[in-house]
Every structure is written in structure tokens, then in C-alpha cells.
């Protein structure tokens, strides 16, 4: 293959010098009351994960916290609705 047909640049990087940047993420930790087990964590995770822009959720029943990563700031009212839909109470931001 001739050098002119390579997808790699002369410095050894691939993609012809194009860069891809990840979208900025916003992390928020919420306090949720009523979670006692893995099933509780899964229910809260499922409901919050369905919110627009949410990229990851980590619920922890032992601490009563839910860490949420999203592509933009979260609307507390939407998070509250999701938590209530799962059967728990959003206390607020941790």
C-alpha cells in the first residue's frame, strides 16, 4: 500500500487527524429514601435511566444515594417523578 492511501497520518495516529471529543457529562448525586436491596436499586436505576440525556445510573441502597451521569443538567422534577414511579422518595441532592 502506498503512503498516500494510508488512513494513518505521518505521526502514526489513525483517522487522518480527525478528532472525536466526548460530549460533556454532568454528574449529580441524589439521596433516595426507601431503598433496602438490590431490587430497589434496579427499580430506581431503570426509571432514572429512561430519562432523556441520562447516560449512566448507579444506585446504592446501603448509602441511600443515586449517582447519575447525563449529557446536560438534570431537571429535579423529572428525577423525582422517576424515583416515585419506582416506588421510592427523592429526598434531594446529596
What is the dihedral angle through the alpha carbons of 82, 86, 90, 94, rounded to the nearest 10 degrees? -90
**pLDDT above 60 (res 5):** no
Determine the length of the chain.
94
pLDDT confidence band for 22 (50 / 70 / 90)? low
Which percentage of the chain shows pLDDT scores above 90?
Answer: 73
The pLDDT assigned to 24 comes to 77
Q: 33-39 long-range CB contacts below 8 Å, 24 or more apart?
A: 33/64, 33/88, 33/89, 33/91, 34/87, 34/88, 34/89, 35/59, 35/61, 35/64, 35/88, 36/61, 37/61
Amino acid at each position: 500500500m502506498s503512503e498516500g492511501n494510508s488512513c494513518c497520518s505521518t505521526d502514526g495516529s489513525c483517522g487522518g487527524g480527525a478528532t472525536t471529543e466526548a460530549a460533556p457529562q454532568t454528574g449529580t448525586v441524589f439521596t433516595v429514601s426507601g431503598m433496602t436491596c438490590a431490587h430497589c436499586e434496579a427499580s430506581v436505576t431503570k426509571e432514572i435511566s429512561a430519562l432523556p440525556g441520562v447516560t449512566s445510573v448507579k444506585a446504592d441502597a446501603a448509602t441511600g444515594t443515586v449517582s447519575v451521569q447525563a449529557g446536560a443538567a438534570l431537571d429535579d422534577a423529572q428525577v423525582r417523578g422517576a424515583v416515585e414511579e419506582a416506588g421510592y422518595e427523592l429526598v434531594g441532592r446529596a
